[in-house]
Amino acid sequence: MKSLIIGVNLNNNIFFNENLKEFFMLAESAGAVVSEYIVVKRDKPDKKYFIGKGKVEEISTILLTNNSIEVVLFDQPLSPSQQRNLESIWKVRVVDRISLILDIFALRAKSHEGKLQVELAQLEYLSTRLTRMWTHLERQRGGIGMRGPGESQLEMDRRIINDKVKILKDRIKKLRLRRDSQRSLREKNRAFSVSLVGYTNSGKSTLFNILAKENTYVADQLFATLDTTSRNIWINNSINKNIVLSDTVGFIRDLPHSLIDSFHATLYEASSADLLLHVVDVFNENYHEQIANVNSVIKEIGASNIPTIMVYNKIDLSNLQPRVEYDSDGLISSVFLSAAKNAGIDYLRNAIAKISNTVRQNVENFKNI
């Protein structure tokens, strides 16, 4: 589908170029073919159009000239009225950042749980935009089978969506209870839980495949992994202990709160882990901001107190050597490696082994008190 991308640089954001590049990747991940793009600078969003009226007219001219463009992609969250106003003028579909991410989630979710979570997030997003869809039907419907309560089409659809949301939340809650039971069983069997977290496309799944000797889906695209995958892994002969490694959905900047809420079950493995491996694409010039975005989500899901090893990946692209760094207490804080080149992996295995042994010893000491 041919598209036009609009990137809005608010308050002269120094990370704008990197963020726009990321949005292009989002668009391509959704299957869009970018025909045109335009950059807009603003101090604050316009209440009616988000961008200024002059830019709206300029884009109208572009769309008239290139009439093969079917959708306009906005690298910002739009209000329902802004989206409705722009579509009314441009006569093409307008998709904002949140809607685009949801579309990719719907495309990639494979498990029953993942599909339920995507549907819930989409319905909650859709419920705020019903007026855009049903303005031509906001009148009382009569006739055979429709007499009685006198609901408008808008009210009826809102009620249907709310009922569906309740059903989905109930199903997800049951799945979460099942996860709790599985977690309790792992704890009873004294399994040590390790979760991979990190910015999308940081190389988590590649690292997972090496540590777990698996062949999960890996691609140079955003949100290649949506469904949590867990496997028992072997670390070394000194570890007489079950270790479970989980690969989780990648994070992204400005991830909407509704998505975090809806995907809480997917992120559950991270929030209940004994150890987090925070995978970072050290080759990305914007990786410090990516770390901050991931840490923000980790805090929101209540996982900020879990021991964490920073795993700086893709060192082969940055001319760095495999190494380990320690904090002021002499504990391993960072590992530099290349998952793609299988370099420095033993450093990470040893780090997991040491922390696993420390946690196991602490548990034994606590039981003996």
- Give pLDDT tens digits for 33-66: 999 999 999 999 999 999 999 999 999 999 999 8
CATH class held by domain 2-95: alpha beta
**Three-state DSSP class for 345?**
helix
Q: Give the residue among 89, 93, 114 at the shortest CA–CA distance from 104.
A: 114
Architecture per CATH, 186-367: 3-Layer(aba) Sandwich (3.40)
Residues in the chain: 369
pLDDT at 140: 42
pLDDT at 134: 42
Q: Is 138 helix (H, G, I), strand (E, B) or coil?
A: coil
Pairing of strands 229-233, 243-247: antiparallel
Residue 222 has pLDDT above 80, yes or no: no
Instruction: Reduce the DSSP state of residue 153 to 3 states and report it.
Output: helix
Q: How far is C-alpha 91 from the chain's CA centre?
A: 30
Confidence of residue 18 (pLDDT cuts 50, 70, 90): confident
pLDDT tens digits, 273-312: 899 999 999 999 889 999 998 998 888 888 899 999 999 9
What is the structure's pLDDT at 136? 40
Give the single-character DSSP code of 79.
P
pLDDT at position 146: 38
Nearest to 262 by CA among 163, 165, 183, 195: 165
> Residues spanned by CATH 3.40.50.300 within the chain?
186-367
Pair of tokens at residue 292: 């901050």
Q: Are 115 and 63 in contact (CB under 8 A)?
A: no
**Whole-number Å distance between alpha carbons of 53 and 55:** 5
Sequence-separated (6 or more) residues with CB below 8 Å from residue 291: 199, 278, 280, 310
Binding site members for Mg(2+): 205, 225
222 vs 280: CA distance, rounded Å = 14
CA atoms of 234 and 326, how far apart (whole Å): 24
Pairing of strands 33-42, 192-198: unpaired
pTM given for the model = 0.75
What is the distance between the alpha carbons of residues 316 and 270, in angstroms, rounded to a whole number? 27
d(CA 122, CA 127): 9
- Residues comprising the binding site? 198-205, 223-227, 247-250, 313-316
Question: By three-state DSSP, how is residue 116 classified?
Answer: helix
pLDDT per residue over 99-148, tens digit each? 888 888 777 777 777 788 778 888 888 777 765 444 443 444 444 333 44
188-260-18 Cα angle (round to 5): 120
Give start-end residues of each CATH 3.40.50.11060 domain in the chain.
2-95
CA-nearest of 228, 225, 222 to 252 is 222
Determine the 3-state secondary structure of 25 from DSSP. Answer: helix
User: In whole angstroms, what is the distance from residue 264 CA to residue 271 CA?
Assistant: 9
Q: What is the pLDDT of residue 141?
A: 45
Q: Are 308 and 270 spatial neighbours (Cβ–Cβ below 8 Å)?
A: no
Residue 199 per-residue DSSP state: B
Q: Give the residue numbers of the binding site for GTP.
A: 198-205, 223-227, 247-250, 313-316
